[in-house]
Amino acid sequence: AQSKPEDLIHLRQGGFQLLARNVGALNSIAKGDVPFNKETATNTAEFVSLLVPQIWAGFGAGSDKGAPTRANAKIWSDDAGFKAAQEKLLVITRKLPAAAGDANSLKAALADIGGACKNCHDNYRDSS
Ligand code: ASC
């Protein structure tokens, strides 16, 4: 069944909020604001790795219409470029649960995630 545009928009916007919260939690762990706990870090990383593909599904057909959002029209006109930007985050987050087992490798993975977030925002998200 095909989702309505507004449902896809809600899916991706809620998904990005969950992503920001959970990547934020991992950043707090990596910075040492909260003590490193391997199980907590790994569970949070697992959640992130499962969440990201669901978010990308929220940019599906028709979801360029439905409500005004910051999603740039290039997302739908430059499919190959947007898919490549998506893939950067997918590749890193697939490896995140393994990286989260150790504070240093978690830190490195989070730096890569920040880069993928910024790359996509710079190219495919309108400023506010
Ligand atoms: C975050 C967050 C983002 C990214 C981005 C990285 O914590 O919410 O959107 O990092 O700012 O440049």
pLDDT at 1: 63
Mean pLDDT along residues 108-126: 98
Compute CA distances 98 → 27, 44, 68, 109, whole Å: 16, 11, 38, 10
Tell me: pLDDT of 77 over 70.
yes
Tell me, using a 6 A CB cutoff, whether residue 90 lines ligand 1. no
- Name the residue range of residue 54's domain: 5-124
User: pLDDT value at position 48?
Assistant: 99
Q: What is the structure's pLDDT at 128?
A: 78
CA distance linking residue 78 with residue 93, whole number of Å: 23
State in Å: Cα 18 to ligand 1 middle.
Answer: 12
Residue nearest (by alpha carbon) to ligand 1 atom 11: 118
* pLDDT, tens digit (0-9, with 9 covering 90-100), for 12-63: 999 999 999 999 999 999 999 999 999 999 999 999 999 999 999 999 989 9
Number of domains composing the chain: 1
Here the CATH number for the domain that contains residue 34 is 1.20.120.10
